[in-house]
Amino acid sequence: MKQFLSVQDVPSISTMLKEVDEIKKTPFVHQALGKNKTLGLVFLNPSLRTRMSTQKAASNLGMNVMVLNVGQESWQWEMADDAVMNGDRPEHIKDAARVMSQYCDIIGIRCFPSLKNKLEDDQEQVLSQFVQYCEVPVISLESATRHPLQSMADLITINEFSPVNKKPKVVLAWAPHIKALPQAVGNSFSEWMTAAQLDFHIAQPKGFELNEQFTPNAILHHDLNSAIKDADFIYIKNWSSYHEYGKLYDGDKTPWLLDSDQISSLCPNAKIMHCMPVRRNIEVKDELLDGAQSLIYKQAQNRIYSAQWVLQQMLQSHLS
């Protein structure tokens, strides 16, 4: 595996799920793979789950880890090609990427979108340049348009809690928020649900449809109640408008904040999912997050194993 930027980099979903199952049973058996190998984790944005779960995964594999908080600990990066660098960004991303390639065997990078320049975000300006110049395998720790380690952990969790002998119905349900958030989690989750060929639905207010590129096979709804009918999994998540790029929702939020009565009456067995951090009682009510059907901490736990699977693939192909 030369890179892990989206579901496209996974040769077989079903093989991956089986291998993850093995990793969870015996997480420490492949430490010879990671011996004297170094993982660099580069953060242009805050992180808790990604930061800690990926470190844990690397430790499980016997790797060394170096963390770099760009801008806090190091120099801000210039992104523009051919830039005359006379501003407040003293190092070019191409130099940073090439230099770090000398020190690391694998590099993970987190780079959120601006939510201001749609074209640059769609083109993954930061990630794509980093990948272009980096000479070792790159893992996306969430980029402008995708969060593949999260989506992979989500799919692992869905696989573990799916009803027997039934293709599960999965609903990605837009939820209110107080800030304009990226579409990355929604996009990425859509891609992975599509790749896993599940019965996949998305509910969102009009004008808050995701970029169609990520949702070719999703069934779209503008009404939450009809969308979640008989759902097995409801993945709750906010995103800002893609079409009016970065716009915060200013309509009526009430119909978009789920409660346990709706779950009981419409989809009594539905599991509740969220990638976190979650603004409690704004995006999701406490009664759902803390209820028996919540899977949010299982998702967080599976972040270790999605990262560990990716690292293991890279270490193995590195050796071969």
- The helix (H) or strand (E) run that includes residue 202 is strand 199-203
With CB under 8 A as the contact rule, the residue among 1, 68, 106, 173 that binds a second copy is 68
47 binds a second copy (CB under 8 A): yes
51 binds a second copy (CB under 8 A): yes
121 binds a second copy (CB under 8 A): no
CA distances from 71 to 68, 84, 89, 310 (A): 9, 20, 9, 27
Residue 298 has phi, psi (to 5 degrees) of -65, -40
Check whether the bond before 216 is cis (ω within 30° of 0).
no
CB atoms within 10 A of CB 255: 12
With CB under 8 A as the contact rule, the residue among 13, 38, 220, 225 that binds a second copy is 38
Please, which residue, 40 or 168, has the CB nearer to a second copy?
A: 40
Which of 121, 70, 130 shows the shortest CA–CA distance to 94? Answer: 130
Smallest distance from a second copy to CB 158, Å:
18
Please, which residue, 32 or 85, has the CB nearer to a second copy?
A: 85
With CB under 8 A as the contact rule, the residue among 3, 23, 92, 152 that binds a second copy is 92
Asked if 241 and 208 count as a contact pair (C-beta separation under 8 A), the reply is yes
With CB under 8 A as the contact rule, the residue among 21, 48, 213, 230 that binds a second copy is 48
Please, which residue, 241 or 302, has the CB nearer to a second copy?
A: 302
The tokens of 307 are what? 């990262």
Matching residue, tokens 């915060």:
248
With CB under 8 A as the contact rule, the residue among 13, 220, 248, 282 that binds a second copy is 282
Smallest distance from a second copy to CB 294, Å:
11
The tokens of 65 are what? 């880890």
75 binds a second copy (CB under 8 A): yes
Q: How far apart are alpha carbons 72 and 63 in whole angstroms?
A: 25
With CB under 8 A as the contact rule, the residue among 82, 250, 252, 261 that binds a second copy is 82
165 binds a second copy (CB under 8 A): no
With CB under 8 A as the contact rule, the residue among 18, 32, 90, 219 that binds a second copy is 90
- Dihedral sign for Cα atoms in the order 40, 42, 48, 54: negative
At 256, which amino acid appears?
W
Q: What is the DSSP string of 199-266?
A: EEEEE--TT-PPPGGG-TTPEEES-HHHHHTT-SEEEEE----TTTTTPPP-S--GGGS--HHHHHHH
Please, which residue, 201 or 303, has the CB nearer to a second copy?
A: 303
73 binds a second copy (CB under 8 A): yes
* Residues in contact with a second copy by the rule CB under 8 A: 28, 36, 38, 40, 43, 46-49, 51-53, 55-56, 59-60, 64, 66, 68-69, 72-75, 78, 82-86, 90-92, 95-96, 98-100, 102-104, 178, 276-282, 286, 289, 296-297, 300-301, 304
